[in-house]
Structure 1
């Protein structure tokens, strides 16, 4: 009889624990889910369905107030598009931050407009100096090529064969002259670009200098 009483007591305890658990679940499930079906009508449920996940849903409390909204699930194409937009925004933000760092460095390097203009003018002068040096070198190499060609021409006019070594020297000299001409063209283009960009750079410098001064005055 004592064993029976223990078994009955144990059973009653288990039943009580189960009832308590059910009671807690009921209390904790006071929130419900609400979403709109294909016709636009609101649907309420104690559990989520695939339609709710596709449509997006609200979590509402026992008083019908929205606690949180959950957007609908995106399909593969939408996720890819959203990821692309997020990556683009991140890239734009990185570029904006880099511009801010560059502007800060510019202001630190050039405390006033005169120093900025002097530095940019020096850049153009450096390009011009490099082009001038290349131009002088090119003139000397062109003269050397002309001398080699004249030697070969003299041999041909005298009905003598042009030696292979002379042909090799002429080919190498032509390559040298061609390389110097390409270098000079790049240097001149760089100088022209630097000179043309000075006005835009000066305008930008004035803008960031003015913004910095205004921010410092606040």
Structure 2
């Protein structure tokens, strides 16, 4: 009982941590580019970046299957490089969680960067700092509140991802079965006590994440 309970919990946490690390760098990188670089088609590009936030999870899962499927160029390249497809693997769960969590990290980081007084950054440039130093030593520290919020929200979103993960990574116990998919299967099989344990565990973790956001904002 204990093993069957903890396996999806530990797997969900592992996937959420790796996904959060991925979206931390990709989200901040995209936010810096979008907040600082004017270019033609910027509105359309931002719409694409935010699409996973509003698309149904089944649509996200379908698009991931199309993009990473065995017959796609990307899927065939992965098979050629690693000898096996990415679908129905641990990494498929990471990819699905990263895609749905990315908009939260991106939007939070972009909001933080856009709230910075540009005169502060310009003053640093006048003093001799290049763009990279301004970003690392001025912009990102000033936007740290929004970035931390984005990290926590992205982790919570990755932890609770269900639809895209079920379609793209499957529901293989011990390999790709996360807490949300485990809850679905427990209810489907009539094992309500076990379903309740998983529900309470993910509610508890999510509550702690949101409490951390509130605490950070207050302090």
User: TM-score scaled to structure 2, two decimals?
Assistant: 0.21
Query: Larger RCO: Structure 1 or Structure 2 (Cα < 8 Å, ≥ 6 residues apart)?
Result: 2
Q: Which of the pair has more CA radius of gyration?
A: 1
Higher-strand-fraction structure: 1
